[in-house]
């Protein structure tokens, strides 16, 4: 999807998980269990990270990388220890993610700036390759004009359930 938000959860989560190189299983794995927080904003307005990315409610399964609600909390619950990336999550979400591009927003095009902050620090890691780590706070900030994108207030993990 290369449009502007909102970006809903995909209609076929199993197909999107497969496209991300992930399987949909009947239960969550226990070898690796981490959480990340993802926020996306466009011109200061929050973009909802939808519930059930990577969750196939109809078939009763989920991938190791998924969301349960719209809090922005990303769950990694894998049967094996392996790296997971932001690119996999966005593939499951069916939103285009390339280095400098999120959905229809491209850094440097149409006076847009795409910045990514990890734990409050701007990163130059290519977006799809950003490896997910436990209690990581990932903020994608999309702005217009000459202003410098700034990191949002850090996510408060003490409020996460």
Residue pLDDT, tens place only, 120-154: 999 999 999 999 999 999 999 999 987 788 899 99
pTM: 0.93
DSSP string for residues in 12-51: -HHHHHHHTT---BSS--SSEEEEEEEEEEETTEEE---T
Listed range (46-50, 62-66, 101-105, 146-150) with the worst mean pLDDT = 146-150
Cβ pair 142, 112 in contact under 8 A: yes
Task: Reduce the DSSP state of residue 121 to 3 states and report it.
Answer: strand
pLDDT at position 147 = 74
How many whole angstroms separate alpha carbon 93 and alpha carbon 86? 10
How many whole angstroms separate alpha carbon 126 and alpha carbon 97? 10
pLDDT at position 1 = 66
Average pLDDT value for residue range 78-104:
95
pLDDT at position 26 = 76
Top pLDDT among 105 and 59 is at 105
């Amino acid at each position: 999807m290369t449009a502007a938000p909102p970006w809903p959860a995909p209609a076929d989560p199993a197909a999107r998980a497969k496209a991300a190189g992930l399987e949909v299983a009947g239960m969550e794995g226990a070898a690796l269990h981490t959480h990340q927080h993802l926020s996306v904003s466009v011109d200061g307005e929050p973009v909802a990270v939808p519930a059930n990315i990577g969750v196939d409610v109809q078939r009763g399964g989920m991938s190791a990388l998924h969301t349960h609600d719209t809090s922005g909390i990303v769950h990694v619950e894998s049967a094996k220890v392996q790296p997971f990336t932001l690119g996999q999550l966005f593939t499951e979400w069916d939103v285009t993610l390339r280095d400098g591009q999120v959905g229809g927003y491209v850094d440097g095009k149409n006076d847009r700036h795409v910045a990514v902050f990890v734990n409050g620090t701007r990163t130059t890691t290519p977006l799809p390759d950003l490896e997910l780590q436990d209690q990581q706070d990932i903020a994608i900030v999309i702005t217009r004009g000459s202003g410098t994108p700034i990191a949002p207030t850090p996510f408060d993990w003490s409020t996460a359930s």
